[in-house]
A and B are shown apart, each in its own frame.
Chain A
Amino acid sequence: MIIAAWICLVTPLAAALLLTLLGNSASRRAAGYIATTAVFGSFIAAVVVFAKLWSEAPADRSHASTAWEWLTAGSFHVGLRILVDPLSVFMMLVVSGIGFLIVAYSIGYMDGENEERRYFAYMALFVFSMLLLVQAGNLVILLAGWGLVGLSSYLLIGFWHDRPPAVAAAKKAFIMNAIGDATMALAFFLLIQDGQSLNFPDMFAVGPGHGWLVNLVALGLLGGAVAKSAQIPLQTWLPDAMEGPTPVSALIHAATMVTAGVYLIVRTHAVFEQAPRVLELAAGLGAATLLMAALIALVQTDIKKVIAYSTMSQIGYMFVAAGLGAYGNAMFHLMTHAFFKALLFLAAGLVIHALAGEQDIRKMGGVGRVMPFTRTAFLIGSLALVGVPPFAGFFSKDEIIAAALSRGWYGDILFAVALIGAFLTGVYAFRLYLIVFPGKPSPFVEEHVHEHSHEGPFSMTSTVAVLTVLSVIGGLIQFEPLWGPVSSWLDPVAPPLAVPSSTQDALASLFAVLLGLAGIGVAWMIYGAKRWHVPTLAFSRRLLEHKFYFDEAYNFAFYRPAVALAKGLDRWFEKPVIGGSIKEIASGFREAGLDTSRIQTGLVRTYALVIAASLAVITIVFVAVR
């Protein structure tokens, strides 16, 4: 079983290396097939691991394996260690399964693109990084995977390196993530200094009087989680990351990367539970993000950015769940979200593909007339996102909302925020759907799409179909409190702190569904039936269009001072001190050289005289001294 886990881990890496080494000798098609096969192999291996683990007693479902000693410093050892337990297998299945579908979709989407081989090598590397992250058996390996995820997202967001916005977005994502990496590394240093083991199952027992330490460590971990999962205040990179190819967005949002923060909190829940204030902070940040992102999504005009903000919002739900200690619910929502978010992105990719790369929804309209399959898929994805029963989002989101209800007054606030979020989700999701799909095709759409044109190559439509099915039935895996295999699977790893009663469950479901439907109704009145007008709240509209001025604030608070400091240093230190001294040294040598060069008269007889004279002097001195 451990062997299967290792195979699951290294297959995508092998594919990435193979594609890099083959270079141009692999055809573009072959590159796509190699990457897809590798990720599929990974998925098969994950299924094997899952099946084996399933057959074991719940208490024994934890296996670690160390390949070799990776780092040694005195008595401190870190092995290249992987851990197979219900949580990591859960993530392996999601990452490799959804990852496989997205890579397969890319074969059609990236067809004819320049540098397809590079794209597929990066995709395989991305999947490998995420698998390393979720399989890591200690925090250092986890950080290695964490950093690799940041690297591969940087490479893929900036895949179209001839587009300046894509390059800028890639840099932004990398820098924002680096902040989180730094806080995580600091947390690890504190743990190491305290003599704690960084290995996963035996983490983490602080002695009494170490309260401040555990709080600092938890804060550091939270910083990493917040950066990777694009939560307030490190959320600004995610919408910009839409500059990458659409399947990359799907991969970042559904299977890999942004879910890593949720995974980290669940994985290190032992630390967080000793720092309950930090855990509450995580839930609070999640709630703030889910609300803010849902509001911003209301006014976005780029089809991918709307979906991107919905991701931020949904990850916010997961943070709320993780922060409340409803770990199983957070992971379950992570899974269903992976289904319907991948579906939404890939369906949006079909639209963008058909419209020759256009992403502005103001030019779209009536796309459904010519792309009925895509329309159905997108509708199902939206319904799942809003949480309408019986689609996937209903089961997972309502559990989170119910969990909030069971946690005192703080939970009640989160409950209210989550319900407002559910309402807003209905509005923005169906605003997008109603603008893009129903009705008469807009002139722009008429121009690009024809009645008889197909909706996309088989590799794209088939993967969208699979995800559609998953978005419909994926949620039925678990319906608390009636049956809960996901929770019972994960509970041994991360016992939940919040267990809602069935009344609370029913109440939360009722409210959430009603509010979601109300949101859809509002969207329908405005964008479908056009009975209501879009409210013209100029101020709030501007606020939302500027994404609450986060970019501007960071620009003002960090970028401008940094530039000013650099300019000041350049003017007062670099030029006079460093530049000046180097110039002086250089000109000194030059002067000395010019002076000495006068000795070189070019007159052979002078040289001979000097030689003879010095010989004479040497001889006289020699004789005299003797």
Chain B
Amino acid sequence: MQGPDIAWYLAVAAFLFATGALGVLLRRSPLIVLLSLEIMLNGGNLALIAFSRLHGESSGQIFALAVMAVAAAEVVVGLGLIVAIAQRKLDLDVDKLSFLRG
């Protein structure tokens, strides 16, 4: 096993995940929220790959690839939504987009 200890990887992954989560929770612009989501996903990916290396198995890496594909799809949908919101001249603010409240 080369490179740093697994804990370091996990620490970086947790840091990335927490940063993303805070971004999702605190920022109001949908664009930034999407961006933060990507950071969360990459945090998760890092953990997956780190474990994959630790166990000498490839399934974690395949998982990470799948997550990337999903992330790409999600970005397409999310950016599409943002474009649609902008076209309707609505405020780009997730707190104001609350038409579905009960």
A: residues with CB less than 8 A from B are: 596-605, 608-609, 612
Q: Judge whether B101 and A603 touch: CB under 8 Å.
A: yes
From the candidates A600, A608, A612, name the one contacting B101 in the complex (CB within 8 A): A600
Q: Which residues of B contact A604 (CB under 8 A)?
A: 33, 94, 97-98
Q: Which residues of chain A come closer than 8 Å to B101, judged between CB atoms?
A: 600-603
Complex partner residue of A605 from B24, B99, B100, CB under 8 angstroms: B24
Q: How far is the CA of A283 from the CA of B33 in the complex (A)?
A: 98
Q: In the assembled complex, which residues on chain B have CB atoms less than 8 Å from the CB atom of A596?
A: 102
With A609-B25, A612-B21 given, is the CB distance from A603 to B102 under 8 Å? no
Residue contact A608 to B25, C-beta cutoff 8 Å: yes
CB-based nearest B residue for A601: B101
Tell me the minimal C-beta distance from B38 to chain A in angstroms. 15
Cβ 8 A contact of B95, one of A600, A605, A609, A612: A605
Q: Complex: how many Å from CA A601 to CA B99?
A: 9
Q: How far is the CB of A60 from chain B (nearest CB, A)?
A: 87
CB contacts under 8 Å to A, within B21-38, are 21, 24-26, 28, 33
> What residue of chain B has the Cβ atom nearest to residue A609's Cβ?
B25
Decide if A601 touches B98 in the complex (CB within 8 Å): yes
Residue of chain A at shortest CB distance from B99: A602
User: In the bound complex, do residue B98 and residue A603 qualify as a contact, i.e. CB atoms below 8 Å apart?
Assistant: yes
CA distance A598 to B102 in the complex (A): 5
Interfacial chain B residues near A597, Cβ < 8 Å:
102
Instruction: Point out the residues of chain A lying under 8 angstroms from B21, CB to CB.
Output: 608, 612
A228 to B1, CA, bound (A): 101
Q: Which residue of chain A lies nearest to B26 when distances are taken between CB atoms in the complex? A: A605
Contacts of A601 in B (CB 8 A): 98, 101-102
Shortest CB-to-CB span from A109 to chain B, Å, is 70
Return chain A residues, CB-CB under 8 Å to B102: 596-602
Tell me how far the C-beta of B91 lies from the nearest C-beta in chain A, rounded to whole angstroms: 14
Top-4 shortest CB links A-B: A602-B101, A597-B102, A602-B98, A600-B102
- Can you add 9 more A-B contacts, CB < 8 Å, to A605-B94, A609-B25? A597-B102, A598-B102, A600-B100, A601-B102, A602-B97, A602-B99, A603-B101, A604-B33, A612-B25
> Which residue of B33, B99, B102 has the most chain A CB atoms within 10 A of its CB atom?
B102
Chain A to chain B contacts (Cβ below 8 Å), 29 pairs: A596-B102, A597-B102, A598-B102, A600-B100, A600-B101, A600-B102, A601-B98, A601-B102, A602-B97, A602-B100, A602-B101, A602-B102, A603-B94, A603-B95, A603-B98, A603-B101, A604-B33, A604-B94, A604-B97, A604-B98, A605-B26, A605-B28, A605-B94, A605-B95, A608-B21, A608-B24, A608-B25, A609-B25, A612-B21
Residues from chain A with a CB closer than 8 A to the CB of B26 are 605
User: How many Å lie between the Cα of A608 and that of B94 in the bound state?
Assistant: 12
A525 to chain B, nearest CB (A): 93
In the bound complex, CA of A57 to CA of B21 (Å)? 106
Interface 1/0s, chain B 3-31, versus A by CB < 8 A? 00000000000000000010011101000
Chain A residues near B100 (CB-CB < 8 A)? 600, 602
Distance A604 CA – B33 CA, assembled complex (angstroms):
10
Cα distance, A605 to B33, chains bound together (Å) = 9
How long is the Cα–Cα vector from A560 to B99 in the complex, in angstroms?
59
Q: How far is the CA of A611 from the CA of B63 in the complex (A)?
A: 22
**Nearest chain B CB to A610 CB, angstrom units:** 10
Q: Give the Cβ gap from A609 to chain B, nearest Cβ, in Å.
A: 6
Alpha-carbon distance between A176 and B24 when the two chains are bound, in angstroms: 78
User: What distance in Å separates the Cβ of A611 from its nearest Cβ neighbour in chain B?
Assistant: 10
A209 to nearest B CB, angstroms? 77
Complex-state Cα separation, A602 to B100, whole angstroms: 5
Return the chain A residue nearest B21 by Cβ.
A612
B64 to chain A, nearest CB (A): 20
Q: How far is the CA of A600 from the CA of B33 in the complex (A)?
A: 20
CB nearest neighbor in A for B27 = A605
A605: B residues at CB distance < 8 A: 24-26, 28, 94-95
CB distance from A589 to the nearest CB of B (A): 15
**A7–chain B nearest beta-carbon distance, Å:** 73
Question: Closest CB-CB distance, B26 to chain A, in whole Å?
Answer: 8
Distance between A340 CB and nearest chain B CB, rounded to angstroms: 82
Inter-chain CA distance A597–B102, complex, in Å, is: 5
Q: How far apart are the CA atoms of A612 and B33 in the complex, in Å?
A: 15
In the complex, what distance in Å separates the CA atom of A22 from the CA atom of B102?
58
In the complex, A597 Cα to B101 Cα: how many Å?
Answer: 8
Question: Quick one: which of A597, A598, A603 has the most chain B CB within 10 A?
Answer: A603
Q: How far is the CA of A597 from the CA of B99 in the complex (A)?
A: 13
A601-B97 Cα distance, complex, nearest whole Å? 11
Question: How far is A597 from B100 in the complex, measured between Cα atoms in Å?
Answer: 10
Chain A residues, Cβ within 8 Å of B99: 602
Bound Cα distance from A605 to B26, whole angstroms: 8
Give the Cβ gap from B15 to chain A, nearest Cβ, in Å: 16
Cα distance A38–B25 in the bound complex, in angstroms: 85
Residues of A near B33 (CB, < 8 A) are 604
Closest-by-CB residue of B relative to A604 is: B94
Q: What does the 1/0 interface line of B72-102 toward A look like (CB < 8 Å)?
A: 0000000000000000000000110111111
Closest A residue, CB atoms, query B100: A602
Q: Measured between alpha carbons, how far is A604 from B29 in the docked complex, in Å?
A: 11
Nearest-CB residue, chain B, relative to A593: B102
